[in-house]
Structures are given as structure tokens and as C-alpha cells.
């Protein structure tokens, strides 16, 4: 990618620089434009991967739009967001039509206008034309710019370039699609996969994830064919039809996946009670889109990220997977009580029904409360500021310890537990991703495995807060508040099944040490990854 980009950018940058210095944009005082509103052109190392061109190219675009206001009208319906779209635009002959139409536009004066005050009227706006000659110069620049871009498209044709390693099945290499791979758990899973020599494609819309985490991974594994990132929203209800017909199909058609780890989902219990429709739509539509594309393109292995919230509040502890072996038992015991758990249960049912008529290998992992970070300090948890109030208790503890918040809010002290606070099973993220990799290795065609991923030990919220105080060395102020809707009194796992069938056992079971590891990352990354999560 870099070699192609290095060839193209100097040409366009030089053109952009010369335009910005040789043309007086103030000659069109009745027309204003902002770089922030210009269409964005993208480079990509594969047809799916999009990163923006240098902002220094904005003068070129600004010149085109200031001199040719209708230029935007041609580009917008064509959706020229990427090189692949631009290549199709060139090949379809639309370039010639666009140039011909621009040539036919009336940029010259009318006979009734005085020479010094003649102007153009296009699209309902007036544009002063101080020098008629400059219009012809502008046309030349426009034609040159579009022609140059189309030439680049032709040179980037697959017939003239070797195929991307992500687009072929390579013997001995397993290519895993990780949805939500820029998030807290997804990025740690990607790190483990790359460490184990898997090939990984991350798809994430960065609404909850961090681009900084992706860049850390790219720096750790810079070799070609190891990691690619695709910015895409699998659950945007405003564009779901477009995604179904174009984006998701494009991702799967241009990449040869062997397996999918599906993490992408909104995942806060408290938020789900405030905006339930968002959770039902996001979680189920994401799953449907992934399953449909897997079926269409022959991807036969799925590792699904589920949650203990699907169990609701069983009468007996610890929770085992046996609660769903009977339909009647499922009605009695597996009754989620918040929209997050209900939506995840719906997605599980969709997967199970689909698996009955396919040969897909499916592993569903129901994990409990996730804590910790990469032991080597490369990755950590960096939630978006606006989501702090819905986040994990570990994040709330660290925010209080760092003075970001005035104290820790503990919701509910009247549960039927020994100290009145909720009891949870806290699983270290390193153990969690180990379970995902073992599930990937053990998945069998035509079979479904459902596993709890937890330590088997329940800890109260008060115990957790005490451990956090010791880990941070800060006497955190604690405010006790009423219960939060949708919370369970007691939830912890029986991990016997995953211990036996996947040979997995939690290794990081010391709560205080897991919090110390996470705190160390927090202290050295006070601004998270230091990079905006939005493109």
C-alpha cells in the first residue's frame, strides 16, 4: 500500500499545493466551503480497508468545488468513497459523461451583462467570474485530476497486481474475522490470535472500540498478510439494507475467511434498560448479517461471544449449562431479566436454529464479568467518556482512584447476599481469550458447543471494592445507591464443562492481581490510547 500511495500522493499533493498558492479562492465571495464538508477519498491496502487521504489534498478538492459547484452533484450519487468505487466509475464511462456535462455548463457571460460584473448562476447560487480564462484552466485541472485517478485505478486492477493474502486460502494459515475487534475484549482476542500466527481481519465501527488499539496491534505485527482493519458498521439500522446488499457481502467476497469470532455488539446492562430497542436491533441484526454472509460464502466456523445475562436469575448456584437441556427447564431457569440478556438469548436461538440445517461448527461462550488487561501492558480497557456511567465496575473504580469521578457508586445494598451487595464471577480477559482460542481449535463441523467461561468463584461488590483499593493504593470514596434496574443478586459459574471438554481452566484467579495489572495500564495511559476512536 505504502509504495502505491507514495507514488500517487506527491503528484496530487503537488497539484493541490500549486492550486492553493496560484488561485485566489476569495474571488468567489458568495461561495463558502469548509474542508470538513468535502467528500472524503480513501486509500486502502486491500479493496476493503479504507483510510483517508492526506488532509493536504483538501485544497485540490476545494478548488474543484469552488470552480465547479456541480462537481459535488456528480460525485454524491456515485458514492465515490473508495478506490474500488472510483475504478468502477471510470470503467463505466461516467468520467467522459461528467467531463462532457461540465464542458456544456454555461460558465461564460451573457451578452446582456457588463464585462466587469458578469457572474455565473448555478444551482441557485451566484458565482462571480473575475477571469473567464481561469474557467478553462479549471476544466483542464479537473480533467487531469479525474484522469490521473482513473489511471491509478487501472494500475491497481487485480489483473496487474498480485492478490492480497487476505483474499486467498493459504495452506496452514487460518484466517479469522474478528467483529468488534477494536473493542476491549475483541482487541485482546486479536492479540492472542496474532501471537498464535493466525491471520486476522478486524471489522469494527469504532462506536465502542478504539482505533488506538488497532494501531498498537499493527505496530506489534507489521508483517504483510497478518492483520487488516475494515471500518464498517454491521448494526446501523439506517443503512442495514445497504450493508446487507453491499458492504457485508463485499467484506466476505473480497476476503477468504476460515472462521468468525463475533464480538460486535452493544454490551451494557444499564444502558439496555434505558434504550432496549437499540439493543434488540443491534445484537440480533449483527448476528443475522454475519450468519447470512457466512452461509453464502462458505465460512463454516463460528465462535459467538455471549453472556451469563442469558440465564437471568436461576434459583440454584453455581450456574451450569444444563439449565437448557430441556425446554421446560429453559422456561423455568433461563429467563433473562434485562434487554441485553434477552437480545443475546435471541441471537443464540437464531444461531442454534440455523446450525440445525447447516454443517457449521458453532461454539457459544457465555462469560461472566470481565476484568484485567494484557499482562505485558500492550492493551487495556479505554471506554468512551460518555459511556463511563454504564461501564464495568473495574473502570468505575479506576476513574474514582484517578479523580476523574468524585467516588465509586455502588448500586444496591439490600440483596439477599451475605453483605447485601451483588455477587459476581470475575474472569480475567487473558483467560477469556484463551477460552476463545481453545474453542476455535476444538470446534467440530455440524456440532454446537455451549460453555460457561468463569472462575467458579463468586465475589461481592464490597469485596471487589476492597481489592480495588489495595490494587490502586487509593482509599476510594464509595457512595451506596439504590438498585439498578436489570441487575441480578447473585451470578457465578460452574466451569466444569469447559474444563473437561476444552481443557480450559482459569489461570488468573487472584482478583487483586488482575486489578493491579489493569491499574498499571491505566496509569501509563491516562488518556486511553491517546487517539480518537472515530475516523
Q: What pLDDT, on a 0 to 100 scale, did the predictor assign at position 247?
A: 79
Q: Is residue 312 part of a domain?
A: yes
Q: What pLDDT, on a 0 to 100 scale, did the predictor assign at position 132?
A: 52
Final residue of a domain: which of 155, 175, 200? Answer: 155
Number of residues in the chain: 535
Contact partners, residue 430, CB within 8 Å, separation at least 6: 188, 372, 374, 375, 507, 508
DSSP-assigned states of every residue in 354-423: HHTTS--EEEEEEE-EEE---TTSS------GGGGGGS-HHHHHHHHHTTSSSSEEEE-S-SSSTTSS-E
Burial profile 139-149: b = 16 or more Cβ within 10 angstroms, e = fewer: bebbeebbeeb
List 340, 415, 451, 492, catalytic entry: 340
- Minimal CA–CA distance to 75: which of 55, 103, 98? 98
Provide the domain limits for residue 260.
167-380+426-455+492-510
Q: What's this model's pTM, rounded to 2 decimal places?
A: 0.71
- Minimal CA–CA distance to 280: which of 345, 185, 204, 206? 345
Phi-psi region at 446: left, alpha or beta (left = phi > 0; alpha = psi -120 to 50): left
Identify whether residues 139 and 195 lie together within a single domain: no
Identify whether residues 84 and 130 lie together within a single domain: yes
Identify whether residues 133 and 197 lie together within a single domain: no
Residue 6 is classified by DSSP as H
Q: Is residue 519 part of a domain?
A: no
Q: What CATH number did the domain enclosing 245 receive?
A: 3.40.50.720
Q: What is the rounded CA–CA span in Å between residue 45 and residue 229?
A: 10
Q: ∠ CA 472-369-471 to the nearest 5 degrees?
A: 10
Identify whether residues 305 and 203 lie together within a single domain: yes
Give, in order, the Cα–Cα distances in Å from 468 to each of 37, 164, 474. 46, 46, 8
Identify whether residues 183 and 55 lie together within a single domain: no
- Minimal CA–CA distance to 429: which of 370, 384, 345? 370
- On the CB side of 207, how many CA atoms lie within 13 Å of its CA? 12
Identify whether residues 334 and 444 lie together within a single domain: yes
CA terminus-to-terminus distance, the chain: 19
Contact partners, residue 368, CB within 8 Å, separation at least 6: 308, 424, 425, 426, 427, 452, 453, 454, 455, 491, 492, 493
- Minimal CA–CA distance to 15: which of 189, 117, 113, 149? 149
Q: Is residue 309 part of a domain?
A: yes
Q: Is residue 108 part of a domain?
A: yes
Identify whether residues 97 and 200 lie together within a single domain: no
CB 367 within 8 A of CB 432: yes
Identify whether residues 104 and 203 lie together within a single domain: no
Identify whether residues 194 and 343 lie together within a single domain: yes
Q: What is the rounded CA–CA span in Å between residue 401 and residue 7?
A: 50
Contact partners, residue 482, CB within 8 Å, separation at least 6: 411, 412
Q: What pLDDT, on a 0 to 100 scale, did the predictor assign at position 385?
A: 76
Identify whether residues 90 and 214 lie together within a single domain: no
CB 519 within 8 A of CB 401: yes
Q: Is residue 177 part of a domain?
A: yes
Q: Is 340 a catalytic residue?
A: yes
CB 364 within 8 A of CB 305: no
Q: Is residue 67 part of a domain?
A: yes
Identify whether residues 114 and 203 lie together within a single domain: no
Q: What is the rounded CA–CA span in Å between residue 121 and residue 112?
A: 14
Identify any residues that bridge with 370 across adjacent strands, giving them in sequence order: 427
Identify whether residues 134 and 175 lie together within a single domain: no
Number of domains in the chain: 2
Q: Is residue 521 part of a domain?
A: no
β-strands 369-371, 259-262 pairing: unpaired
Task: Return the biggest CA–CA distance within the chain.
Answer: 92
Final residue of a domain: which of 104, 128, 155? Answer: 155
Q: Is residue 394 part of a domain?
A: no
In order along its 535 residues, the chain shows pLDDT tens digits of: 444 444 444 444 444 444 444 444 333 333 333 333 333 333 333 333 333 334 444 445 455 545 555 444 444 444 444 444 444 544 555 545 444 444 444 444 444 444 444 444 333 334 344 445 556 666 677 777 777 766 666 555 555 567 889 999 999 999 999 999 999 999 999 999 999 999 999 999 999 999 999 999 999 999 999 999 999 887 655 544 554 557 788 899 999 999 999 999 998 888 999 999 999 999 999 999 999 999 999 999 999 999 999 998 887 889 999 865 334 444 445 689 899 999 999 999 999 999 999 999 999 999 999 999 999 999 999 987 777 777 788 999 999 999 988 999 898 999 999 999 999 999 999 999 999 999 999 999 999 999 999 999 999 999 999 999 999 999 999 999 998 777 878 889 999 999 999 999 999 999 999 999 999 999 999 888 974 433 3
Amino acid at each position: 500500500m505504502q509504495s502505491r500511495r507514495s507514488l500517487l500522493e506527491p503528484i496530487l499533493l503537488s497539484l493541490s499545493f500549486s492550486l492553493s498558492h496560484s488561485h485566489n479562492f476569495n474571488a468567489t465571495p458568495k461561495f463558502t466551503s469548509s474542508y470538513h464538508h468535502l467528500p472524503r477519498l480513501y486509500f486502502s491496502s486491500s479493496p476493503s480497508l479504507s483510510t483517508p487521504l492526506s488532509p493536504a489534498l483538501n485544497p485540490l478538492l476545494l478548488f474543484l468545488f469552488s470552480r465547479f459547484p456541480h462537481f459535488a452533484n456528480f460525485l454524491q450519487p456515485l458514492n465515490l468513497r473508495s478506490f474500488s468505487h472510483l475504478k468502477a466509475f471510470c470503467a463505466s464511462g461516467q468520467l467522459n459523461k461528467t467531463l462532457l456535462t461540465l464542458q456544456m455548463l454555461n460558465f461564460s457571460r451573457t451578452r446582456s451583462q457588463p464585462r466587469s460584473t458578469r457572474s455565473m448562476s448555478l444551482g441557485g447560487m451566484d458565482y462571480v467570474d473575475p477571469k473567464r480564462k481561469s474557467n478553462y484552466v479549471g476544466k483542464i485541472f479537473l480533467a487531469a485530476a479525474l484522469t490521473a485517478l482513473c489511471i491509478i485505478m487501472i494500475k491497481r486492477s487485480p489483473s496487474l497486481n498480485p492478490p492480497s493474502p487476505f483474499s486467498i486460502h493459504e495452506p496452514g494459515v487460518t484466517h479469522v474475522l474478528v467483529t468488534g475487534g477494536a473493542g476491549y475484549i475483541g482487541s485482546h482476542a486479536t492479540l492472542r490470535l496474532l501471537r498464535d500466527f493466525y491471520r486476522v481481519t478486524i471489522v469494527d465501527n469504532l462506536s465502542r472500540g478504539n482505533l488506538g488499539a488497532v494501531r498498537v496491534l499493527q505496530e506489534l505485527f507489521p508483517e504483510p498478510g497478518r492483520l487488516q482493519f475494515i471500518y464498517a458498521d454491521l448494526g446501523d439500522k439506517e443503512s442495514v439494507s445497504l450493508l446487507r446488499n453491499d458492504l457485508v457481502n463485499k467484506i466476505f467476497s473480497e476476503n477468504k475467511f476460515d472462521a468468525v469470532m463475533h464480538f460486535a455488539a452493544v454490551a451494557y446492562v444499564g444502558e439496555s434498560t434505558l434504550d432496549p430497542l437499540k439493543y434488540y436491533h443491534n445484537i440480533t441484526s449483527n448476528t443475522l448479517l454475519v450468519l447470512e454472509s457466512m452461509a453464502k460464502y462458505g465460512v463454516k466456523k463460528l465462535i459467538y461471544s455471549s453472556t451469563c445475562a442469558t440465564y437471568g436469575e436461576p434459583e440454584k448456584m453455581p450456574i451450569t449449562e444444563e439449565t437448557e437441556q430441556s425446554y421446560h427447564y429453559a422456561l423455568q431457569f433461563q429467563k433473562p431479566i434485562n434487554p441485553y440478556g434477552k437480545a443475546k438469548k435471541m441471537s443464540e436461538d437464531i444461531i442454534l436454529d440455523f446450525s440445525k440445517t447447516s454443517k457449521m461448527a458453532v461454539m457459544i461462550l457465555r462469560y461472566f464479568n470481565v476484568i484485567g488487561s494484557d499482562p505485558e501492558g500492550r492493551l487495556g480497557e479505554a471506554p468512551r467518556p460518555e459511556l463511563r456511567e454504564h461501564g464495568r465496575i473495574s473502570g468505575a473504580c479506576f476513574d474514582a482512584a484517578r479523580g476523574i469521578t468524585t467516588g465509586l457508586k455502588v448500586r444496591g445494598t439490600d440483596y439477599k447476599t451475605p453483605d447485601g451487595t451483588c455477587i459476581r464471577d470475575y474472569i480475567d480477559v487473558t483467560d477469556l481469550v484463551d477460552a476463545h482460542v481453545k474453542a476455535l481449535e476444538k470446534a467440530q463441523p455440524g456440532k454446537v458447543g455451549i460453555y460457561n467461561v468463569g472462575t467458579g468463584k463468586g465475589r461481592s461488590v464490597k469485596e471487589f471494592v476492597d481489592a480495588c483499593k489495595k490494587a490502586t493504593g487509593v482509599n476510594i470514596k464509595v457512595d451506596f445507591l439504590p438498585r439498578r434496574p436489570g441487575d441480578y443478586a447473585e451470578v457465578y459459574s460452574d466451569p466444569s464443562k469447559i474444563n473437561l471438554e476444552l481443557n480450559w481452566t482459569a489461570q488468573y484467579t487472584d482478583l487483586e492481581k488482575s486489578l493491579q495489572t489493569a491499574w498499571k495500564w491505566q496509569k501509563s495511559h491516562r488518556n486511553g490510547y491517546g487517539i480518537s476512536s472515530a475516523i
